[in-house]
Amino acid sequence: MTRPRSRSLSRFLPAFVTTLLAGVSLSGPAPKPAHAQAWADSEGATSLAITSALDRRVRLPGFGNIAYRAPLVGKRGPVVVLVHGIFAGSTHRSFNELLPLLDAADARVYTLDLPGTGESESPKRAYSMAVLDQFVETFLDQVVREPATLVAESLLTGSALQVAALRPDRVKSLVLLSPTGAVNLASPPSRDATSLYDTVYGNDFLGLLFNSTLLSDPSLRFFLERTFVDRSLVTDTLLDEYRLARSRPNQRWISFAFVGGQLHRRFADVAPAVAVPVLALFGKQAESPGPVGRADAAADFSAIRPDFTYREIDRAGLNLHREQPAAVARQILDFIK
């Protein structure tokens, strides 16, 4: 069996990830995955101080039990739904710095773990943008049940745009944080990426081994440091949030879909149908999450929808809402008044 070259990984991960796969035989029966799980569990102690903001569960058709937090009691401001992005360990904690600022401003804020991540149910399934679209729409219909502002980051901005275009009765306005789809995550996967996805999805040993590498400290630090301008913010406490995924091996299914190129959407394909107000925020110093290419920039999107509102946040990279939460919160609150 020909080994996949997996060149697409170079956009997201250190070279040692592809070296690892290239050095492991993809033929023959899969061994028991205990070795891979031991690797995942042994590296980097996780702080017991990492807590969850999610205190509710709802069973949604097609997605199982979803963990979320409803608005705090007594809040009377606009309804906001925070939707995090996808990487090896991403969860609702992506909004740890932003959430208390929106709460303090009297907003009625929902936050959640996407299906397949964190505390939400994570069965083995093939994730696609259509699946994520359906989830966002179902959550709005069955949990929120009134018009809301969707605040989405990175890849999930594509789903937010799609749902806003189809359901303006549920989406009052959109805030896009570091949106993708103009330069990055805009194209279908290459043959290499599809081969990688098929391999790690279909072989439990290699899948667990690859997932362990995604969640290793060098891999997490490599990715996170490229999303912050001030790399001193990539602390052990921050890494602990992502290390939590080591105890949730089923989160690998959605991570594989992301790394294997199965999740992509062109901004130009969905943005023309959006009729609600849109604010797109970018880190002024954002760089590509991989060693090549560049980050999506406001100019890429304004060429297609010049009527959307675009703002750059200074001293911030792709993780602008974690690096400059006060500035991002001000922009959001001014926009949704």
Q: Tens digit of pLDDT for each residue in 259-312?
A: 999 999 999 999 999 999 999 999 999 998 776 689 999 999 999 999 999 999
What would the two tokens of residue 41 be?
Answer: 């569990």
pLDDT(1) > 70: no
Q: Which CATH number fits domain 56-186+265-336: 3.40.50.980, 3.40.640.10, 3.40.50.1820, 3.30.420.40?
A: 3.40.50.1820
Structural domain boundaries in the chain? 56-186+265-336
Q: Which residue has the higher pLDDT, 254 or 33?
A: 254
Amino acid letter, residue 181: G
Q: Which residue has the higher pLDDT, 38 or 140?
A: 140
Query: Could you give the 3-state DSSP secondary structure of residue 229?
Result: coil
Phi and psi for 237 in degrees, rounded to 5?
-65, -40
Q: Which residue has the higher pLDDT, 89 or 243?
A: 243
Distances (CA, A) of 62 to 122, 228, 264, 320, 333: 12, 35, 21, 32, 33
Bin 185: left if φ > 0, else alpha if -120 < ψ < 50, else beta.
left
Measuring CA to CA, which residue among 236, 6, 215 is closest to residue 90? 215
Q: What is the pTM of this model?
A: 0.88
Which band of pLDDT confidence, cut at 50, 70 and 90, is reported for residue 24? very low
Q: What is the pLDDT of residue 289?
A: 79
Q: Is the dihedral of CA 318, 321, 326, 332 positive or negative?
A: positive
DSSP codes joined into one string, 269-318: HHGGG--S-EEEEEETT---SSSSS----HHHHHTT-TTSEEEEETT--T
* Cβ atoms 189, 8 nearer than 8 A: yes
Distance CA(270)–CA(118), nearest Å, equals: 28
Query: Could you give the 3-state DSSP secondary structure of residue 156?
Result: helix
What would the two tokens of residue 158 be?
Answer: 């594509």
